[in-house]
């Protein structure tokens, strides 16, 4: 009996090559060429995508002498290296993009799910997902982020510090294009958070990004940060440093709650919330009364570092006024509170003071939301802020004089020259929202231009074009372009990019309008850090945690583009 013919040969054509011992085989499905070797031919068919696709379409059937026969390998799920890598990448996107624990891949239920979906797929091990797979994803996302930054005309650098679960100090950096991207985290170790420490870190990043690319550095208003501003502006002419507008508003709120009347009102509301939170009998009584009155929300306890929670606390007490008053009249509840708190809850004056305080806090909350938004503009913030000042002037509460002193002290921090220039360069506003509120307005705008444009001759060109822009003359005299701006058809940056008019001023406007109003982008990174490097995952090393946060945040930023 002769040697059995390899069944794989039926999928190839053969050509005798003069001077060669073996024939050359050509795959009928993908035209790949190879030597006539049964082992090599079989191996090729196991990896040939076109052949595998045909097998799937034919349900594993083959013809042999006119009789359709099932092949043994048609019952097996097989996977080549490319398919394995593709699914590994999709699995990485799923785990890293949702901030899931890395031990997921070793969970029996997960393995069973993968085996059910695709028996041939072997998920990476716990070690592989946290090393090779994580590193490859980080490199891929990092390359995409750098491409986005390099494509931007200018960027701003935002930084802030934080303390992780292990009480280690971390300094984080985001880059706005103006869309924010998380760039890196630096662990301070034994270094103190001095102006020189921050300056060295910022300088290195500016050099990495290119000093001509960076327009602004945005931080909170801490003393070390403000000292660092001077070092940056002296060392890198043309780069400006700004304080976070949201942080300024939070500081303003902190000052307000140090005043006697607001402090007393807040303490009363906190005591009310604590009474019903820590007593099961009082809470059960209150919940019954609340439901009978059709009130859908309960009491909210404030969080010290979240000023918005103070507002929520006050609103919840005011909304549940009747339910609270009914509850404390019940003997089981009345025995648990002191006479002063009881009188405060029953007094109409208490709730009138809460409503009065809320008339101040609600606009401030809206202002902070505007300042923290990634897509916000200086003109929008100033418009809201000055409307708020008008409302304050009409209020009649007893601590109004103290409030006005606080506004006079904190307000100038918001009115930084570069932000005023941003208002002017917003074609929808052109600085109109600042009228009557900013002294020496033109001089402040000149200061901003001097900071951003160190070269005197270049500044003269900018000032000439700025005068034409504000007068709607010369290259800005077309009625059409102003109609587009006033109707909001284009955002401010797109409006300046849409035409080649006044190229020097256009370039400056794009830089200035892209500066963020706050450091909220890095604050959101800390929220992500807190979720990923949680109490139950505190053993994550710093480098791995930083990579996980980097992928999580930037995948979302790129998906939103």
Looking up tokens 């079989």 gives 42
Overall pTM surpassing 0.75 (yes/no): yes
pLDDT of residue 386: 82
What DSSP element (H or E) covers 182?
A: strand 180-187
Structure tokens at 379: 């003109």
Q: What is the pLDDT of residue 128?
A: 92
Q: Is residue 551 a contact partner of residue 141, using CB atoms and an 8 Å limit?
A: yes
Using CA of residue 36, residue 38, residue 44, residue 49, what is the dihedral sign? positive
Burial (CB count within 10 angstroms: exposed 0-12, middle 13-18, buried 19+), residue 197: middle
Q: Tokens 């025995």 appear where?
A: 335
pLDDT, residue 319, reads: 94
**Residues paired with residue 172 on neighbouring β-strands, in sequence order:** 160, 185
- The residue ranges of the chain whose pLDDT is under 70 are 1-7, 19-21, 55-77, 305, 560-561
Q: Which two tokens stand for residue 417?
A: 């020259």
Write down the pLDDT at residue 73. 54
At 57 the pLDDT is 59
β-strands 61-64, 67-70 pairing: antiparallel
Q: Which structure tokens are listed for 270?
A: 């906190």
Q: What is the 3-state secondary structure (H, E, C) of 367-397?
A: HHHHHHCCCCCHHHHHHHHHHHHHHHHHCCC
Give me the long-range contacts of 555-558 (CB less than 8 A, separation at least 24): 555/93, 555/96, 555/97, 555/141, 556/97, 557/179, 557/180, 557/181, 557/182, 558/141, 558/144, 558/145, 558/148
% of residues, the chain, pLDDT over 70: 94
pLDDT tens digit string along 3-57?
Answer: 455 667 888 888 887 766 678 889 888 888 888 887 788 888 877 878 877 766 5
3-state secondary structure of 186: strand
Rg over CA atoms, the chain: 33
Burial of 458 (0-12, 13-18, 19+ CB in 10 A): middle
Question: Domains in the chain, please, with CATH?
Answer: 7-75 (no CATH), 81-130 (no CATH), 138-244+519-559 (3.30.420.10), 252-361 (no CATH), 372-513 (no CATH)
pLDDT, averaged across the chain: 87
């Amino acid at each position: 009996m002769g040697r059995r013919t390899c069944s794989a040969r039926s999928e190839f054509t053969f050509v005798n090559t003069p001077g060669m011992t073996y024939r050359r085989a050509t795959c009928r499905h993908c035209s790949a060429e190879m030597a006539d070797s049964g082992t090599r031919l079989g191996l090729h068919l196991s990896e040939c995508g076109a052949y595998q696709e045909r097998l799937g379409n034919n349900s594993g059937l083959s013809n042999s002498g006119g009789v359709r026969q099932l092949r043994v390998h048609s019952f097996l799920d097989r996977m080549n290296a490319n398919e394995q890598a593709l699914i590994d990448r999709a699995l990485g996107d799923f785990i890293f993009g949702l901030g899931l624990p890395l031990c997921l891949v070793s969970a029996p239920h997960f393995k069973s799910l993968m085996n059910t979906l695709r028996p041939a797929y072997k998920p990476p091990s716990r070690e592989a997902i946290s090393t090779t797979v994580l590193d490859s994803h980080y490199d891929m996302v990092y390359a995409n982020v750098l491409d986005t930054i390099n494509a931007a005309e200018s960027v701003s650098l935002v930084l802030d510090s934080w303390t992780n679960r292990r009480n280690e100090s971390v300094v984080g950096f985001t880059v706005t294009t103006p869309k924010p991207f998380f760039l890196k985290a630096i662990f301070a170790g034994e270094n103190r958070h001095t102006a020189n420490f921050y300056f060295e870190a910022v300088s290195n990043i500016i050099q990495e990004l290119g000093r001509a690319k960076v327009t602004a550095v945005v931080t909170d208003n801490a003393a070390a940060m403000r000292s660092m501003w001077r070092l940056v502006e002296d060392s890198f002419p043309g780069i400006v440093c700004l304080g976070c507008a949201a942080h300024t508003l939070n500081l303003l709120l902190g000052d307000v709650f140090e005043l006697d009347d607001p402090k007393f009102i807040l303490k009363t509301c906190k005591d009310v919330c604590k009474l019903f939170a820590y007593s099961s009998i009082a809470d059960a009584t209150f919940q019954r009364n609340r439901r009978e009155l059709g009130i859908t929300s309960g009491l909210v306890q404030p969080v010290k570092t979240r000023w918005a929670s103070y507002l929520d606390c006050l609103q919840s007490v005011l909304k549940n006024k009747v339910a609270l008053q009914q509850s404390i009249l019940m003997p089981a509840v009345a025995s648990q509170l002191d006479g002063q708190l009881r009188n405060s809850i029953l007094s109409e004056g208490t709730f009138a003071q809460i409503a009065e305080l809320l008339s101040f806090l609600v606009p401030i909350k809206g202002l902070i939301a505007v300042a923290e938004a990634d897509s916000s503009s200086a003109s929008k913030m100033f418009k809201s802020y000055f409307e708020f000042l008008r409302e304050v002037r009409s209020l009649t509460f007893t601590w109004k004089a103290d409030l006005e002193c606080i506004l006079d002290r904190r307000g100038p921090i918001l009115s930084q020259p570069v932000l005023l220039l941003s208002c002017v360069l917003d074609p929808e506003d052109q600085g109109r929202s600042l009228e009557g509120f900013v002294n020496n307005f033109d001089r402040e705008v000149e200061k901003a231009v001097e900071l951003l444009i160190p070269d005197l001759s270049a500044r003269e060109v900018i000032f000439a074009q700025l005068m034409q822009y504000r007068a709607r003359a010369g290259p800005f005299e077309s009625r059409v372009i102003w109609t587009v701006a006033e109707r909001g058809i284009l955002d401010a940056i797109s409006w300046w990019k849409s035409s080649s008019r006044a190229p020097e001023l256009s370039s400056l406007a794009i830089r200035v309008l892209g500066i963020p109003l706050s450091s909220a982008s890095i604050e959101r990174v800390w929220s992500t850090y807190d979720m990923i490097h949680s109490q139950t995952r505190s053993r994550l090393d710093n480098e791995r945690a930083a990579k996980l946060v980097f992928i999580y945040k930037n995948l979302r930023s790129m998906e939103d583009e």
